Amino acid sequence: MKQVNGQKLLEALGSGVDAIRGRITPDAPMDRVTWFRAGGLAELMFQPHDTDDLVAFLKLVPKEVPIMVVGVGSNLLVRDGGIPGIVIRLSAKGFGDLELVGENRIKAGAICPDKNISAMALDHGIGGFYFYYGIPGSIGGALRMNAGANGGETSERVVEVHAVDRKGNKHVLSNADMGYAYRHSDAAKDLIFTHAIFEGYAEDKNKIRTDMDAVRQHRETVQPIREKTGGSTFKNPQGHSAWKLIDEAGCRGLMIGNAQMSPLHCNFMINTGQATGYELEYLGETVRQRVMEHSGVKLEWEIKRVGKFMPGYEIREFLGRAMA
């Protein structure tokens, strides 16, 4: 079932859209954006030309219209009923720059790929960015998710974050303002990060290169990185590894339709063909339910699930079978 409201929403924004320079697409397919290659339509997608264009556009949006921002979709599960309202997708031209801005400091646009910051840091002998080499997301996603791996995480490197709120007001947040915790930021949900300044430390280039190679090699051996996936499905609960709990509950390789818990890394969910958002989320809730029954631990989703269920295909937490 397709959404057909995008054009109506576009008309509701009024004639102010004529001055907008970015691209506006009604009923935009989200399966082309997400790594899972699944999910419904965004009612209206906006790709701003630059920050001023983003601000101008946001000022046109009525307050009751939901707005969400996506990066490169490597941590997103979009439901089949699509995303109501506006999805902002930053353009590489306006938000993809990387620049050295002082000793060991790098300014990165929010849609810049994480691995580009590692490469720049290596070129300039700046340590502390090796871990981004293996994370396939954008800087905006990393800022929101506190992305991290191989002993490093975003919160350790952030100096300040520049953002725009849904009314189009600009903000600058300090590291403390970002309220970082494990794979989480407390920054207001309506903020669209536009760029950020990161700081590393002077380090020998050979050491940086060795650390980056280790990250790549580790990933290629233990993760299904060439599959349609969203990375780690669940956060590691305090004192546990999510993958171990999943394995012990017998869910390695578990399949529902075309969605599977990867046999290689069983905390990675993969789309083995034409999986729907429903199949992927149903698989995830099945795993949560089985892990809870087996070990009593409630797994928490790391992947962001967004959008609406298709009518008749609603999924309840733990499949509605949660105990106390």
Under the rule (CB under 6 A), what is the footprint of ligand FAD?
35, 68-76, 90, 110, 134-138, 140-142, 144-145, 147-149, 191-193, 223, 225, 229-231, 304
183 catalytic residue (yes or no): yes
176 Cβ partners below 8 Å, 6+ apart? none
Q: Judged by CB, which is closer to ligand FAD: 24, or 292?
A: 24
Give residues with Cβ within 8 angstroms of 231, minimum separation 6. Answer: 35, 74, 75, 136, 268, 302, 303
**Residue closer to ligand FAD, measured from CB, 117 or 192:** 192
DSSP state of 247: H
Calculate helix-pair angle for 205-222, 114-123, nearest 10 degrees: 150
The least CB distance from residue 120 to ligand FAD, in Å, is: 17
CB of 104 to ligand FAD, least distance (A): 22
Catalytic (active site) residue 199: no
Q: Which is nearer to ligand FAD, 114 or 203 (CB)?
A: 114
Integer-rounded Cα radius of gyration of the chain: 20
Nearer to ligand FAD, 83 or 254 (CB): 83
185 counts as catalytic: no
Q: Closest approach of Cβ 168 to ligand FAD, in Å?
A: 15
Catalytic residue among 183, 219, 288, 290: 183
Question: Which CB, 135 or 197, lies closer to ligand FAD?
Answer: 135
Phi and psi at 309, nearest 5°, equal -70, 155
CA distance 199 to 159: 6
On whether the CB atoms of residues 186 and 177 are closer than 8 A, the answer is: no
**How far apart are the C-alpha atoms of 238 and 321, rounded to whole Å?**
23
Pairing mode of beta strands 184-185, 180-181: antiparallel
H/E element, 78: strand 76-78
In the complex, least distance from residue 56 CB atom to ligand FAD, rounded to whole angstroms: 17
Catalytic residue selected from 74, 155, 232, 262? 232
CB 320, min distance to ligand FAD, A:
25
Provide the annotated active-site residues: 183, 232, 302
